[in-house]
Amino acid sequence: MPRPMLVPARWGARRGAIVLLALGLGAGLAGCAGTGERVASMVTPYKVDVVQGNFISREQVQALQPGMGRQQVREILGTPLMVSLFHSDRWEYVFTLKRPGVEAQTRKLTVFFKDNVMDHVEGDEMPTEAEFVASLSSKRATAKVPQLEATEAELERFPKAAPAASPAATPTPTPVPATSYPPLESRR
């Protein structure tokens, strides 16, 4: 016959506290179920800008010359994003910038090689560095600035303030007697 397992008395109290805590949390969450939409509309998560690949400017593309070696091209454009084992005669450069509230920017450039020297370049029209930086600063449409001055007609809607009392008519406050407090630390 198997022996009964003895459970300490405090385990029963601990189990009861855990059950009560779980029930309290469940009731609290059930009470908050209807406020989810309001909370979601008040809180907007931070969305990061996602940059993938190498940005290549028009100046970099203009610096490329047919007959350059692979290392020279790599020094100007950087490491290619894609190098295919099946197409070892070309390097693919792809740049993608995704920002919240703005259409994603994607630019592609392909460098073709013949006998390990650059032959030609194909791809999208690349922006200058200045154009690219300008596009970054205008990522969100600026809100219209409200007018900060009120016209006389708008000011008439508000009641006139009472004239300020003269300084002689205002009573001077009576000084509060200084109170001495015991020292914070005992002296030895």
Read off the CATH number of the domain in which 54 is found: 3.30.1450.10
Residues 126 and 133: their CA atoms lie apart, in Å, by: 13
* Residue 83, pLDDT score: 82
* Residue 167 DSSP symbol: T
Per residue in 83-106, pLDDT (tens digit) is: 878 888 899 999 988 888 788 889
Share of the chain above pLDDT 90, in %: 22
pLDDT range class, residue 139, cuts 50, 70, 90: very low
Domain residues for 110? 50-137
Q: Judge whether 76 lies within some domain.
A: yes
At position 182, the amino acid (one-letter code) is P
More confident residue, 7 or 80: 80
CA dihedral sign, ordered 77, 81, 85, 90: negative
* Residue 75, pLDDT score: 92
> Chain-wide mean pLDDT for the chain?
78
More confident residue, 105 or 17: 105
Q: Judge whether 180 lies within some domain.
A: no
Instruction: Give the predicted TM-score (pTM) of the model.
Output: 0.49
At position 148, the amino acid (one-letter code) is L
Q: In total, how many domains does the chain have? A: 1
Cβ(95)–Cβ(52) below 8 Å: yes
Ranges 105-109, 162-166, 178-182, most confident? 105-109
At position 53, the amino acid (one-letter code) is G
Of the candidates 31, 107, 119, 139, the one whose C-alpha atom is nearest the C-alpha of residue 73 is 119
Strand extents, DSSP E, the chain:
50-53, 82-83, 90-99, 102-114, 117-123
> Which of 5-14, 38-47, 88-97 comes out lowest in average pLDDT?
5-14
Total residue length of the chain: 188
Mean pLDDT, residues 139-161 taken together: 74
pLDDT range class, residue 47, cuts 50, 70, 90: confident
Per residue in 103-136, pLDDT (tens digit) is: 888 999 999 999 989 999 999 999 888 888 887 7
Residues 6+ apart with CB under 8 A from 7: none
* Residue 71, pLDDT score: 92
Q: Judge whether 148 lies within some domain.
A: no
Scanning 115-186, the segments in alpha helix (DSSP H) are 129-137, 152-155
Q: Judge whether 128 lies within some domain.
A: yes
Q: Judge whether 67 lies within some domain.
A: yes
Q: Judge whether 108 lies within some domain.
A: yes
